[in-house]
Chain A
Amino acid sequence: MAFSKMILWELKQVFKSKKFTFSFVIQFFVILAIIPLFDVYSTILEDPQEIVLPTSTSYVPVAVSSSPLQHILEKQPIFRVYTVSEEEGYTLLEKHVVCCFISGEHIIFDTYNPKARVAEFHLQRLLQQEPTIEIDWHLNEQPVVPQQQLRARELALREIRRTAEMMQSEQINYSTLLVLLLAIFLASGILVDLVVSEKEKQTGEILRSLPISPGKVLLSKVFAVVFVLTCQITLWISTLYVLGRVSSLLSMLPLFLTSFLIISLTCFVSVYAKSYKEAGFAITVSYVLLFAFLMSASTFYVISENLSFLSPLSLVIMIEKGQHIGVAYAALPSFLVSCAFIFVAVKLYGRDEFYFGPRPSFFRLIPFVLRKTLLLCAAIFAVIVFNSVSVAHALSEVIL
C-alpha cells in the first residue's frame, strides 16, 4: 500500500516538474523533425551520381535491356531499375553507376560494387519464385584482381552480403528508432534526480525512518521512471507506426530491453554516487562503455550470430527474420543483467555507507557485487565462453 503510494508520489513529482515538461516537449519536436530530415538526407545521398547509401527503398540500381525480368524487378521496391539499350547498360556498368546489368537472359554483375551482392541475393530469391525464367550469371571481372587478394575479397563480399541482408529497405526504417534513445536519456536523468537529490537534500534520512524498507523506496523510484519511460516509448512508437516508419510493434521489445538496461545501470550508478556531479561523470563513462559494448556485440551479427545475443540491438534483425526462439534467447542476457544491476542497487541502497558514508571504493565493491550475483555471473560467463569459441572461429576465417 505504502509502496504504491510512493510510486504515485514520485510520478506526481515527475509530471509536475518543469524540467520534465520542458525536456518532453523538446524531445517531441526533435523526434518529429528528425524523420523528414532523415528522409531528405538519404534521398540526396542516394542519387546515382553520388555516394549510394543503403538507407531506404530503391537503393540497388540495376540497368535492364529487354529482359523478361524487367516487370518483376520493377515491382520490387529494393531495385531502382534503369531501362537502357545494351550499349548504355555496359557504359553504366563500367562507370559503376549500376551494380548489375540485365541484358536479355544474361546478368552481368559489377563485382567491385558491394551492392552487386545485394542484387545477387535478391535476384536469386526472385528466380526461385519464377522457375520458368532461365538466366545466365556473369561477373564483370575487369580490371583483373590479383590472385592473392581473391580469397580475402570473397570473404569480404560474403560478409557484405550478410550486411545487405540485414539492411533491407523495410528494416532500415528502424534506424529512426535510435532517436528514441532521447526518451531513455530523459528517463535516466529523472532517475538520477530522484535518487541523488535524496542524498544531496538529505530527504532520504526521513525516508529511512519510515516503516518501508530502503529497497522498496528505491524500487518505487525505478517503477515510477519505468512507467514514465513506457508511456513515452509507447507514444513515440505509436506515432512512428502511424507514420509508417515501423511495421512491427514487436520492435518495441529491443527498445524496452535497451532502456531497461540503461535504467538499471543508471539506478546502480545513482545509488553509488554521492552527488549530482559525481553521478553525472559516472553515468557518462558508464554509457560510453555500455554503448561500446552494445554496438560491438550487435556487430557480431555480421561476423557471427553467436555473440550477437548479448546486445538487444541485434533483436530487431531477429524479429524481422521471424527468429522468435532466437528473440527469446537473445532477450534473456540483457534482461538478466538489468535485473542484476537493480538487485545490487537495491542491496546497496539499504546499506548505511551508501547514504551516510564512508562509501567503499569501486574496486572493493566488485567482490560484493560478484557475491550477490554469483549464479547470474556464472551463467553469463559460461554462455560467453561457449560462444566465444565459435566467434573466434568465425573471426579467424575473416582474418585469414
Chain B
Amino acid sequence: MIKIINVTKTFGNITALNKLSIHIRKGELFGLVGPNGAGKTTAIRIVCGILHPTKGRVLIDDRDVFENIDIKKRIGYLPEEPNLYTRPTAFELLQYFGSLYGNSSPQRVEDLLTFVGLHHRKDSKVETFSKGMRQRLAFARALVHDPEILILDEPTMGLDPATAKKVRQFIKTFKRKKTIILCTHYMEEADELCDRVGFLDRGKIVKVGEPLQLKEELKQESTYEVIVNNSNPVLLQQLTPHVISQDSNRLICSLTPEDISGLLSEYQEEIFSIRTITPTLADVFERYTHGIQ
C-alpha cells in the first residue's frame, strides 16, 4: 500500500534520511521506532506530502504522493504537537477541517467528539483545553475525513499515563481497519500496538520485523544479564564484543555456553551474577541502533 523507495532528505549539509526504503502493507499497523534525531518525523512528513524528498519517491497504491495531491485526502496526520488553532471552538475546528476535505457533516463531527470524549466541551474554545484534551482533539481532526491511512507522530508524548492509555485505545480501535504508521520511541507502546516495527537509525532502516519475531531472534542468540565488577578493565574488554546494551555494571550480552564457562572459570570473583533473560523490544532496539541518545 505505502512504498517508500530510496528516499533521501537533506537539510543543508545534514542528511536526515539516507536511501530509506520501507513497504507498508494495507491494514497494517507499522511502528517506526528510533532514537531522537533518527529521522522518524522527517520520514512521516515525507509520507504525508508535507516535506519533499531530496531524492526518491513515496507511492501510495502506486501513485506518487507529490504528483497527485488528491492522495492526501486518504491520509490523516497527527503531528507530535497538536498544533491546533486556538480561537475557534472544538466543533468549529473539526467542521472547518472536515470542509477542507469535503466532509463537514455536523453528525460526523459530533460522533468524533463523542469518540474522543470531548463532546461535553464541543462549544468551548480550543485555547481553554489542556494538553491531553488538545491531543485528543487533534486525533479527532486527523480522523475527520475518515482516512484510509493514519499517520501518528509520537501520539502519547508528554501525556499523563491515563490519557496516553486512552490514545492507545483509540489507535487499537482502528487496527486492521486502517493502515497506520505509528512513530514512537516508547518501546512498550510499539510492542503493544504494532504488527511490524522498523528501527530507524541515522536516517536508515536497520531492522524491520514483527515485535515477537524480533525478540525471538534475540532470544536465540542466548541473551544473558551479567552483573560484573566494572572496575576490572580486562573483564570488560573481554565482554565488549558480546554486549548488546549496558547500564553501569549491568550488561546484556549474547553469549554461548562455552563463553559462560570460560568467563566463570577465569573471573569467578568479578562476576556477581549471570542469568538468562527474555529480551524486550527495548533490547532489540538497543541491539540494532545506537540507543536513545
Is A213 on the interface with B (CB-CB < 8 A)? yes
Residues of A within 8 A of B141 (CB): 206
- The chain B residue sitting closest to A206, CB to CB, is B83
B50 touches A208 (CB 8 A): yes
Is B209 on the interface with A (CB-CB < 8 A)? no
Residues of B within 8 A of A211 (CB): 69-73, 100-101
State the CA gap A9–B97 with chains docked (Å): 10
A205 touches B102 (CB 8 A): no
Is B116 on the interface with A (CB-CB < 8 A)? no
Report if A356-B11 is in contact (Cβ < 8 Å); known contacts: A1-B102, A16-B87, A203-B85. yes
**In angstroms, how far is the closest chain B Cβ from the Cβ of A197?**
9
Report if A210-B72 is in contact (Cβ < 8 Å); known contacts: A13-B87, A358-B11, A358-B12. yes
Is A212 on the interface with B (CB-CB < 8 A)? yes
State the CA gap A212–B84 with chains docked (Å): 18
Is A371 on the interface with B (CB-CB < 8 A)? no
**In angstroms, how far is the closest chain B Cβ from the Cβ of A349?**
13
Is A6 on the interface with B (CB-CB < 8 A)? yes
Is A45 on the interface with B (CB-CB < 8 A)? no
Is A125 on the interface with B (CB-CB < 8 A)? no
- The chain A residue sitting closest to B9, CB to CB, is A352
Interface centre among B70, B84, B85, B88 (most CB of A within 10 A): B85
Residues of B within 8 A of A1 (CB): 102
Is A95 on the interface with B (CB-CB < 8 A)? no
Cβ proximity bits B76-97 to A, threshold 8 Å, 1 near / 0 not: 0101010111011000000011
A209 touches B83 (CB 8 A): no
A209 touches B11 (CB 8 A): no
B70 touches A203 (CB 8 A): no
**In angstroms, how far is the closest chain B Cβ from the Cβ of A94?**
70
Interface centre among A6, A205, A353, A358 (most CB of B within 10 A): A205
Chain A binding site: helix, strand, loop or mixed by DSSP? loop
Choice from B49, B51, B88 contacting A356 with Cβ under 8 Å: B51
Residues of A within 8 A of B84 (CB): 203, 206
Residues of A within 8 A of B102 (CB): 1-2
Residues of B within 8 A of A209 (CB): 48-50, 72, 75, 77
Residues of A within 8 A of B97 (CB): 206, 210
Is A277 on the interface with B (CB-CB < 8 A)? no
Is A5 on the interface with B (CB-CB < 8 A)? yes
Residues of A within 8 A of B48 (CB): 208-209
Is B240 on the interface with A (CB-CB < 8 A)? no
State the CA gap A227–B100 with chains docked (Å): 21
Is A146 on the interface with B (CB-CB < 8 A)? no
State the CA gap A13–B69 with chains docked (Å): 26
- The chain A residue sitting closest to B77, CB to CB, is A209
Report if A201-B69 is in contact (Cβ < 8 Å); known contacts: A2-B100, A5-B99, A5-B100. no
Residues of chain B whose beta carbon lies under 8 Å from any beta carbon of chain A: 11-12, 45, 48-52, 69-73, 75, 77, 79, 81, 83-85, 87-88, 96-97, 99-102, 141
Q: List 30 A-B contacts (CB under 8 A).
A: A1-B102, A2-B99, A2-B100, A2-B101, A2-B102, A5-B96, A6-B100, A17-B87, A203-B84, A205-B50, A205-B83, A206-B77, A206-B79, A206-B97, A206-B141, A208-B49, A208-B50, A209-B72, A209-B75, A209-B77, A210-B101, A211-B69, A211-B71, A211-B101, A212-B100, A213-B69, A352-B51, A353-B11, A357-B11, A358-B11
List the 5 closest pairs (A to B, CB-CB), nearest first: A211-B72, A209-B77, A208-B50, A358-B12, A202-B83
